[in-house]
Amino acid sequence: MKVKLSAVIITYNEEENIERCISSIKGVAEEIIVVDSFSSDKTVEIAKFNGAIVFQNKFKGYSNQKKFGINKCSSNYILSLDADECLSENLQVSMKDIKKNYNSDAYEMNRKNNYLGQWINYCGWYPDKKIRLFDKNKASWNNNYVHEKVVLKDGATTGFLKGDILHYSIKNKAHHYRTIDHYSTLYAQMMHEKGKQGFIYLGVIKAIVKFLKLYFYKLGILDGINGWRICKASAYSIYLRNKKCKDLYNEKV
């Protein structure tokens, strides 16, 4: 079955990334929807100049933004990307080919992460499989504020596409820790709303286990100094979200 694709990109102050993202999907998607959280830079201007249809929506979590974008799409077939991601040339070819014979309800693909200018091959970061192409009648984003993922409906089928989503994730160490702080806050809020208390000592234990798993079992040691930094920061994020969840619980009581 031949299909047309609608691409959804969520943005907030992404003037450095948005043009690269849109350029990589221009030959793949017939429609490009950008959902912007009221950027203060030139994100909206650049997106419109590159042919995107832009909607602005107050940020209430990553899943909410992506669902908002899906509701603006004219096609049932959705390609979802973040602004700091783009499609590799091989993945562009794979998507063009699958559009001619779309035979699964959703498609999974690898994501490759760039950290401080280095492509990361280990640390649990590659292959970082993601479902990013799907029929919106068969799948949708869950309700997580952060670490959102596509959930398939019962009976939905999944295929796999060759090529990588290229994720330009972290520009510098300060950017990394700002991201951890932001994500851990959202994660703590999500867990607090589910009635979780958060336990600091348990967070410490989980952080140590996380580091050992990523650095040794997931071979982060082979990514050199950046592997060490990633594994250490990932462990810290586990501790931080538990601490923030505990703080929210203490405020409530």
Q: How far apart are CA 37 and CA 12, in angstroms?
A: 5
Q: What is the mean pLDDT of residues 148-154?
A: 95
Q: How far apart are CA 173 and CA 195, in angstroms?
A: 33
User: Two tokens at 72?
Assistant: 């603006």
The DSSP letter of residue 16 is T
19, pLDDT greater than 80: yes
* The predicted structure's pLDDT at residue 1: 82
Q: How far apart are CA 223 and CA 139, in angstroms?
A: 35
Phi (first) and psi of residue 229, to 5 degrees:
-65, -40
252, pLDDT greater than 80: no
Q: What is the pLDDT of residues 208-244, one digit of tens each?
A: 999 999 999 999 999 999 999 999 999 999 999 999 9
The overall longest dimension of the chain from CA atoms, in Å, is 57
* The predicted structure's pLDDT at residue 145: 79
* The predicted structure's pLDDT at residue 253: 59
Q: Which distant-in-sequence residues (6+ apart) come within 8 Å of 232 by Cβ?
A: 211
Q: What is the pLDDT of residues 90-99, one digit of tens each?
A: 999 999 999 9
> Which amino acid does the sequence have at 150?
V
* The predicted structure's pLDDT at residue 199: 86
pTM for this structure?
Answer: 0.91
155, pLDDT greater than 80: yes
Mean pLDDT, rounded, of the chain: 95
- Distances, alpha carbon 5 to alpha carbons 18, 38, 79, 97, in Å: 19, 25, 7, 12
More confident residue, 251 or 3: 3
Q: What is the pLDDT of residues 160-213, one digit of tens each?
A: 999 999 999 898 999 999 999 999 999 999 988 988 888 889 999 999 999 999
Report whether 220 contacts 231 (CB < 8 A): yes
> Which amino acid does the sequence have at 233?
A
